Amino acid sequence: MSTSYLSYSDSIPEQPNMTAVAYEHLRGFLRGEFARRSETQARVYTSRRLAEIAGDVPTMALALALIQLVQSGWLEQFVRVQTQSGSGLQDFQSLEDLPSTVYDWKETFREIPVVPENVEVCYRLCKAAPQ
């Protein structure tokens, strides 16, 4: 890779902090969601959806931004176990609450094992927007 010399300058900007960029994008989106809360009360966001909203940021930066949003009270995390076709069966507060099987009351009507393909980490708005 060849060297990229930028022109001489008295004030070279800092490399943008991609975590901060992702955090700001997501926070802006969540502010809007809080404002329209009555319409979106049961709104759930998958990790993939939040990644789309955050834009083109490295995944590790996005991970940090999401952790910060959870810590600062914008979002709540939970784990959703789904059917094979992606329909939600049961939600759990944390990974520790995951059972080894869940009853599929939507499609197969039997106990199905909890495997990577039917586990989705989701987010929802906290009860109140943080100040």
Partner 1 sequence: MNVRELADRLHEALEGVPHAERPIFVKGWASNLANEEKAAVMTLIGLFGFEIPRSKHVLVLLHGIRTAAVWQDLVEEAFDGTDIRVIPIGYEYHDAFRFLFPYRRRVVNYVRGQLRQVTRDWNGAEISLIAHSFGTYITSQILRTDTDVRFKRIAFCGSVVPAKFKWASIPGLPGRDNFVNEVGYRDVWPVFARAFGFGYGTSGSFGFRQAMIQDRFHNLDHSGFFDRSWIRRFWLPFIEQGIVLRSETGRPNPPLWTQLINVVSPKYLIPLILLIYVLCRYYPWAFG
Q: Is 91 in the site for partner 1 (CB under 8 A)?
A: no
Half-sphere exposure for 24 (CA within 13 Å, toward CB): 8
> Angle at the Cα of 38 (from 87 to 34), degrees rounded to 5?
90
Nearest-approach distance from CB 113 to partner 1, in angstroms: 7
Binding mask 42-81 for partner 1 (x = CB under 8 A): ----xx---x------xxxxxxxxxx--xx-----x-x--
Q: How many CB atoms lie within 10 A of CB 66?
A: 23
Is the Cβ–Cβ distance between 104 and 118 less than 8 Å? no
The residue ranges that bind partner 1 (CB under 8 A) are 1-15, 17-19, 46-47, 51, 58-67, 70-71, 77, 79, 94-96, 98, 100, 113-116, 119-122
